[in-house]
Structure 1
Amino acid sequence: MKKLIYVFTLFSIFLLSSNAIAQDILKSKDLSTVKVDYLSDDQLSKISAQLKSNNTTIEQVEQALLSKGMSQTEYNKLKARLNDVKPVGNDAKSNNPQMNTQDYGKVQDKFSNEKVKDSANALIFGSELFDNPNLNFESDLKLATPVNYVLGPGDELQISIYGVQEFNASSPVSSEGRISIQYVGQITVAGMSIEAATQKIKAAISKVYSTVRSGQSQVSVVLNQIRTIKITIVGGKQPGNYSISSLATVYNALHLAGGPGKNGSYRNIELIRNNKVYKNVDIYRFLVKGDQSDNVGLKENDVIRIPAYSNRVTLEGEVKRPGIFEMKKGENFSDLLNFASGFNEFAYTASVSVVQKTAKEFKVHDINESEYNSYLPQSGDVFRITKILNRFENRIKIEGAVFRPDYYSFTQGMRVSDLITRAEGLKEDAYGKRARIVRLKTDLTTEIVNVDLDSALSGDLNADLELKREDIVTIYSILDFREEYKVTIDGEVKNPGEYEFLENLTLNDLIVQVGGLTGSASKRVEIARMIKSDFIDDSDPKRVELVQFEITADNNEQAKNFVLKPFDVVNIRRIAVYEKPQMVVIKGAVAYPGKYVLANKKETVYNVVMRAGGLTSVANIEGMKIKRPIKQDEIDKIKSVDLNLANNDTLNEKVVQKLEEELKYATIPVDWEKIMKDKRHYSNVTLFPGDEIEVAVYNEGVKVTGNVLLTSEIPYRSGKGFKYYINSVGGVDNKGWKKKAYIIYPNGKADVTKSFLFFRTYPKVYPDSQIVVPEKPETHKMSTGEWVTIGSLLTSLSLVILTAFK
C-alpha cells in the first residue's frame, strides 16, 4: 500500500511539473526532468501559444532551454512536435477563406454581393442607400453578443474554465441542438438565448468540477462562430433566397438584394415571420431622422416582401435634395419638403407650381405658402421650386465723396440728407453745387435728377428731394474736375521718368524724389516748358519755352530753387568727360597674361601686347587673333532684316540662334609680323572693351577633320602641300567633297580651294592649321524613265532640225 501511494505521488508530481512547464516553459529554472514524449497535444499548444505571445520561436529559445538542463535530444523532440502541432480554436479557422475572423473571438461567414450604380433610378430618394458598396450594414463583431441572441445548429461556443482548474474547448451546436463538453456530457442549448444557455452550461459544469462549485474556478461562455440562416427577399432588384448571418438585420438583407426594385416601395416593406407580417419597414424614418427602430434582426425562414409603390412625386428646382419621393396617405407638402431637407437659400418660397395629371391631360396648379400644410400630393405630381427674383425691394445706393459709400436699406419718405447722414456725411473734397440721382422709372428706363447739394443740406426741402427705391446718389469730388498734371525728369538722375505734379513743386523737390543726381551729372540743366496762349502767333515759331541754367553738380540742394510748372520736362546733362575704366583680356603665349585697362581711346593690339611683356619664345606669330563679343544690338539688326523668305523658312531664326547660343564672339585675325614692320598696318586694330586677345602656342601639327577616313593631326613638313595632308589621313571618304575643302589658319583666317577650267589651286598650309573636308550635298539621280524621256526629246528635236534644213 505504501508503494502504491509513493508511485501515485511521484506520478502526480510529474503531471504537475509537466503542466507547469507547459504553462511557463521560459520561466522554469530546471528542465532536466522534462520528458517531451509525455507532453499532451494540449500542453504543446500552450507552449506554442506562450512562444507566440512572447514574439519568439523555438529556435530563438534553444540556448535558454539547454542552459536550464534540457538535453539536446529532448529539445529536438520538442522542436519536432511543436512543428507538427495543429492550431486549435480560432487559429484553426483563420485559414478558411470563407470565414471572417475578428480579434474578439467571433467568426461568421463572409457575405457579399457586387453592387452596380443604378443610374436609371438614381433620382429616387433612398436608392443610394443600396447601390453604394461602401454601405453594407454588416453586424459589428467587435460588440458583445446580444443577450437575447437565440442559439441554433451551426453556432459554436467557446467554453473556458479558469482559476484553480483550467479547461478550454470549442463546442459546436449539433443538428440536434446540443453541445458536447468533455467529462460533462451533452447539453441541449438550441432555442435558448445566449444568456440562458450560459447559466445552464455553468450549472452542468459545476456538477463535475468541484472548484467551479466552490467558486475557486470560473466559467466563461462566448459565442465563437455564428451560424448561417436562410431568408427570402421578394420585390428587390435581386430577389431570391439568401444565406445570411444569424446576426443580420433587415437593412443588411435589403442591401444584399440591392434594395427595392424599379417599382418597389421604400415606405411599406413587410417583414413576414411565421406567415404573418411581423414588421412594416419605412426606410424614410432612417434616411430623414436616423431612426433604426425598423432595422430588426432576422430569423430562419423570414420573408422580406417589397410591394409596389402607390404614390410617387417629383420635386425639382431650388431645394437642398431634389429627386423622386414616395408619399404615404395623409402626408402633405410640408412633409415632402422635410424629405428634401427644405428650400435652399435661393428658393422662391411664397408659392410653388405643381404639374398635375388628370385622366386626359396635364394641368398646372399653384400652391400658396399658407397651403403647404394642407395640400396632399397626388401620384405623378411634379413640383417646381423656382429662384427668387434678382432684384431688391428696399435697396438704395450712395457713392462718391462720402465717408461710407455703399448700399443702404430704403424707407418711405427718405430724403437726400437722410442718406448722406447714414453714409457718415460728406468728405472735405465734396462738390456742393451739384449731386446726381440715377432713378429707375416704372417702365424700367433710367433718368437723371440733379440736386443742389448745398441747399439740400441747409434745410431747403425743395432741394432736399425725396428718394425712391433703387435710386443711385452720386456725390462728386472737386478732385474729379482737376486735370492730372505730370512733370518729367531725364538725364543724369538715379530714377528718371514721369512724376506727379504738386503745387509749389521745385527742382530740389523733384531731384530728391528721384533719388538725387548721379556722379556723371554736369552743371547744365535744361527745362522745357509748354507755351499757353489764347491766339495763334504765326510769327513766333517756338513750340516750347526753353530755360537753361547751371546747378552745383555734386549737391542735391541747389541755391537757385527753380519752381516747376505742370508738364515741365527737366533734363540734367552729362559731363563732357566721364568714362569708367574699361578692360580687355590677353591670354596665351605672352609674358604677363591677364586683364588690362584701355589707357586711351585708340588703344591698339600692339600697345596691349607690349604692356603684357611681349610674346614669349613659344608664341606662334601666325596664331594671334582677337575675339570680340557680339553685341545684342547687332543681333537685333539681323532680326529686323527682311530676307523676303517664305512663311515656313526659318533661316533668319537659325542665324540668330547660332549667334546667341553658339558663336557669341566674332573672330578678327591679326598679322603680327606685318604689325611689327608697320604699326599703321590694318591688322593693328583699335580694341574695344571686352575684347580678348589670344596668342597661340606654336604647334607643329596640322589637323585634318571632316569627311576623311581618319581624323588626325599630321606633323607639319615644310614644302608639303594641301593634298599631302589629306592623303596622310587616308584621303576623303565616299561623302567627302574634296574640291570644296578649306583651311582655317591659327589666327582664325580661312582659305578655300579654287578652280579655274581644269586647274585646281589649293591653299597654303602653315603649322597649327586645320584642314576641313565638307560633305557633298545630296543630289537627285535620274531614273531610267527620266533618261528615256530625255532621249525621246533629243530624238524629236533632231528630226525637227533635219526637217527644217531639207
Structure 2
Amino acid sequence: MGKLFYSLFISTFIIIFSYAASSTMSGTSVQGTATQGIISTQSESSVGGTTNSESGSQSQQAEEIQNSETQQEIENLKEQYIQKEVQGISTQVSDIESLYMSKIGLSKVKGRLRQFGYNFFKGYKVTGLTSVGDKYILGPGDFLLLYIWGDPVDILGLNGFYRLVIDREGKVFIPHLGVFYVWGLSVAKAKNLFYDFFKKKFKNFQIELSLGKLRTFPVYVSGFVNKPSVVQVTGINTVLDALALAGGISKNGSLRNIILRRATGEKQKIDLYDLLVEGKPINITVKQGDSIYVGPIGKTAAIYGEVKRPAIYELKENATINDLIKLAGGLNPSAYEYNVKLYRYENNQLIIKDGSLKDKKFMESYIKDGDLIKIEEIKNIIENKVEIKGHIKYPSIYSINEVNTLRKAIKLAGFLDDTNLYYAEIIRKQKSGNYKVIEFKPIDILNNKKDIKLKPLDTVVFYPEFIYKPIKISGEIK
C-alpha cells in the first residue's frame, strides 16, 4: 500500500511539474511574440516620421531591453539562491539588495553586492558549556553543589557534599544547619554567607560552592528579527545568543540600533558594527525580565569596485564618503583616484555625480540614503614602458627610465647573426590615438652615426635579414 501511494505521489508531482514548465515556456513564447509585434508596429508607424523620432524610439527600446535583462538577471539569481536555500545554504536576495543591483546592473558586480553583517547569525551555535564564574547571580531554579571538608571531630556528622536547589522564594535548606536566602546573591557572596555561618559553629573546615544545572528564564525578543518570540536562556547567555535563538536579525532590521531593556527600566543600545567592523566583543549577559528590541534598518549606502569589502552598509547620521570607504575596509592598491562615481536619487530621478579621492570636499560630503559609490580600477597599462621585440636575443619590456635611447635598447636587445642591420622600426603612439612608424638603420646606431631618444609606450621592432634586405645594384645606371 505504501509503495502504491508513493508511486501515485511521484506521478502526480511529475505531471504538475511538466504542466508548470510547459505553461512557463508558452508564456515566454507569447510574451516574445507580443514584443516582436510591438517593435514591428513601431517600426512601421515610424517610416513616415522624422529621424529624431526613430532615434528616440530605438533608444527607448534599448533602455527597456536593458532594464528587462537586468531584472531577468536578478530573478535568475534569486532562483539560484532559492535552490541553495533548499540545500541548506541561506543566500536570499533582499529587496534592498535588489534595489542596488538593479540600479547599476547585476553583471557589473557579479552578484557580490550584499548587505553587510547579516550572515553573522547563520551557523551561530548557542552553547551552555561556558564557565559561569563567581559573579553569576543566583535565582530560583539554580542547582548548587556545596562541598565541606576538614577535621572530622570539628565538622561532627555533617555530610561532605550537599545538592541544593534554590526554591521559588530564593531559599536553600541544609539539613541540621537551617535555611539560607541566596536569591540575588552572586556565587561568591553566597559562598561567603555559608562560610560565615559555619565558622560560628565549626573549626578547621573548608567549603567550596559551585553551580550544577542553571535555571532558565524567558527573554522577549521582538522587532525586526526572523522569529520574534520568547526565548528561553540562562544567566550565562548573551544578547547575541538571544538574538540567534530568535533566528537572527532580518535584512530589514538594524544591526546598529538594538535596544536591551532591563526589568529595572535601564536601557542599553547595542551596535553590532562594534563587533563586526572593529572586533570589539559584545559580552552583555541577559538577565531575568530582559527584553530585546531590534529597530528597522537605518540609512543605507553601497560601495563597490576597488575596495576590500564591497557591500551595502547601514550608516549613522552625518556619515561621509570617507566613512563608507573605511567600513568597506579601505581601498585596494589598484583604486583609481579619479572618476569616482556617485549614484543618487534626487528630485525623483536617479542621477550620477563624478568625484575624486583627492577632493577633500567630495570625500567629506554627507552620504544620503540609497547612495551608491563606485571606485574605478587603474587600467593594467604600464605607462612608462618601452618594448623591444622581434628578431633579437632578449625581447622584453623595459622602463623608460633605464632605456631612453635606441643605443641603450640595442645594447640590451642583443643582435642575432642574421638580425637586419639596415632596417628596423619604432612604433610610437600619438596623442590622437594613431600610431606613427619611425624607420631607422641599426647599423647607424652601432657606428655612432646617430641615436634616437625613445618615449614612453614606444615599441622597437627588429627584423631578420631576409626581410627588407638591401638590394645591390651594379652596372651602368642613370
Q: TM-score range by the shorter chain?
A: 0.5 to 0.7
SS at match of 1:313: strand
More helix by share: 2
Residues 108-163 of structure 1 show CA distances to partners (whole Å, capped at 9, x for unaligned) of xxxxxxx9825133721111012x12x2354542x3x2332111111111111235
* 1:125 aligned onto 2:116: yes
In the TM superposition, residue 426 of structure 1 has moved relative to its aligned partner by: 4.7
* 1:258 aligned onto 2:247: yes
In the TM superposition, residue 425 of structure 1 has moved relative to its aligned partner by: 5.2
* 1:418 aligned onto 2:408: yes
Q: Provide the rounded CA distance (Å) in 2 between the counterparts of 1:402 and 1:139.
A: 73
In the TM superposition, residue 251 of structure 1 has moved relative to its aligned partner by: 1.0
Q: Provide the rounded CA distance (Å) in 2 between the counterparts of 1:118 and 1:389.
A: 32
Whether the 8 Å contact between 1:343 and 1:349 is mirrored in structure 2 is no
Whether the 8 Å contact between 2:344 and 2:370 is mirrored in structure 1 is yes
Whether the 8 Å contact between 1:354 and 1:364 is mirrored in structure 2 is yes
Whether the 8 Å contact between 1:435 and 1:451 is mirrored in structure 2 is yes
Whether the 8 Å contact between 1:457 and 1:464 is mirrored in structure 2 is no
* 1:310 aligned onto 2:298: yes
Q: Provide the rounded CA distance (Å) in 1 between the counterparts of 2:128 and 2:439.
A: 77
SS at match of 2:192: helix
Q: 2:143 aligns with which of 146, 156, 159?
A: 156
Residue 357 of structure 1 corresponds to 345
SS at match of 1:362: strand
* 1:394 aligned onto 2:391: no
Amino acid at match of 1:127: Y
Whether the 8 Å contact between 1:451 and 1:465 is mirrored in structure 2 is no
What is the correspondence of 1:701-720 to structure 2 with a 5 Å cutoff?
none
* 1:189 aligned onto 2:182: yes
Amino acid at match of 2:381: R
SS at match of 2:254: coil
In the TM superposition, residue 207 of structure 1 has moved relative to its aligned partner by: 4.0
In the TM superposition, residue 346 of structure 1 has moved relative to its aligned partner by: 4.5
In the TM superposition, residue 318 of structure 1 has moved relative to its aligned partner by: 3.4
Q: Provide the rounded CA distance (Å) in 2 between the counterparts of 1:237 and 1:468.
A: 63
Residues 462-509 of structure 1 show CA distances to partners (whole Å, capped at 9, x for unaligned) of x42222222221234569999xxxxxxxxxxxxxxxxxxxxxxxxxxx
Residues 169-227 of structure 1 show CA distances to partners (whole Å, capped at 9, x for unaligned) of 2211111111222322221111011111111122233445x3xx32xx42111111111
Residue 466 of structure 1 corresponds to 453
* 1:202 aligned onto 2:195: yes
Q: 1:225 aligns with which of 196, 213, 229?
A: 213
What is the correspondence of 1:51-200 to structure 2 with a 5 Å cutoff?
117=90, 119-121=92-94, 123-130=114-121, 132-133=122-123, 135-136=124-125, 138=127, 140-141=129-130, 143=131, 145-165=132-152, 167-200=160-193
**Shift in alpha-carbon separation, 1:240–1:344, aligned structure 2, 3 A:** same
* 1:453 aligned onto 2:426: no
Higher relative contact order (CA 8 A, sep 6+): 2
The root-mean-square deviation of aligned C-alpha atoms, in Å, is 2.9
What is the correspondence of 1:526-675 to structure 2 with a 5 Å cutoff?
none
Q: Provide the rounded CA distance (Å) in 2 between the counterparts of 1:262 and 1:159.
A: 47
Deviates more, 1:156-165 or 1:406-415: 406-415
Whether the 8 Å contact between 1:413 and 1:466 is mirrored in structure 2 is no
Q: Provide the rounded CA distance (Å) in 1 between the counterparts of 2:176 and 2:462.
A: 105
Q: Provide the rounded CA distance (Å) in 1 between the counterparts of 2:173 and 2:133.
A: 23
Q: Which is greater in Rg? A: 1
Residue 552 of structure 1 corresponds to none
In the TM superposition, residue 286 of structure 1 has moved relative to its aligned partner by: 0.6
Whether the 8 Å contact between 1:351 and 1:367 is mirrored in structure 2 is yes
Deviates more, 1:191-200 or 1:313-322: 313-322
Q: Provide the rounded CA distance (Å) in 2 between the counterparts of 1:140 and 1:458.
A: 86
Q: Provide the rounded CA distance (Å) in 2 between the counterparts of 1:207 and 1:163.
A: 15
Whether the 8 Å contact between 1:271 and 1:279 is mirrored in structure 2 is yes
Residue 243 of structure 1 corresponds to 232
**Shift in alpha-carbon separation, 1:451–1:200, aligned structure 2, 3 A:** same
Q: Provide the rounded CA distance (Å) in 1 between the counterparts of 2:186 and 2:194.
A: 12
Amino acid at match of 1:434: Y
Whether the 8 Å contact between 1:395 and 1:407 is mirrored in structure 2 is yes
TM-score by length of 2: 0.67
SS at match of 1:433: strand
**Shift in alpha-carbon separation, 1:351–1:283, aligned structure 2, 3 A:** farther
Amino acid at match of 1:339: L
**Shift in alpha-carbon separation, 1:417–1:139, aligned structure 2, 3 A:** farther
In the TM superposition, residue 327 of structure 1 has moved relative to its aligned partner by: 0.5
Gaps of at least 5 residues in structure 2 are 1-87, 98-113, 153-158, 470-478
Whether the 8 Å contact between 1:451 and 1:464 is mirrored in structure 2 is no
Gaps of at least 5 residues in structure 1 are 1-114, 483-806
SS at match of 2:255: coil
**Shift in alpha-carbon separation, 1:188–1:403, aligned structure 2, 3 A:** farther
Paired residues, number: 355
Residue 311 of structure 2 corresponds to 323
SS at match of 2:256: coil
Whether the 8 Å contact between 1:160 and 1:221 is mirrored in structure 2 is yes
Amino acid at match of 1:184: L
Amino acid at match of 1:307: G
Q: Provide the rounded CA distance (Å) in 2 between the counterparts of 1:205 and 1:182.
A: 13
In the TM superposition, residue 164 of structure 1 has moved relative to its aligned partner by: 4.3
Q: Provide the rounded CA distance (Å) in 1 between the counterparts of 2:267 and 2:419.
A: 82
Q: Provide the rounded CA distance (Å) in 2 between the counterparts of 1:233 and 1:415.
A: 74
In the TM superposition, residue 306 of structure 1 has moved relative to its aligned partner by: 1.3
TM-score by length of 1: 0.41
Residue 374 of structure 1 corresponds to 364
SS at match of 1:289: coil
Q: Provide the rounded CA distance (Å) in 1 between the counterparts of 2:217 and 2:194.
A: 24
SS at match of 1:306: strand
* 1:409 aligned onto 2:399: yes
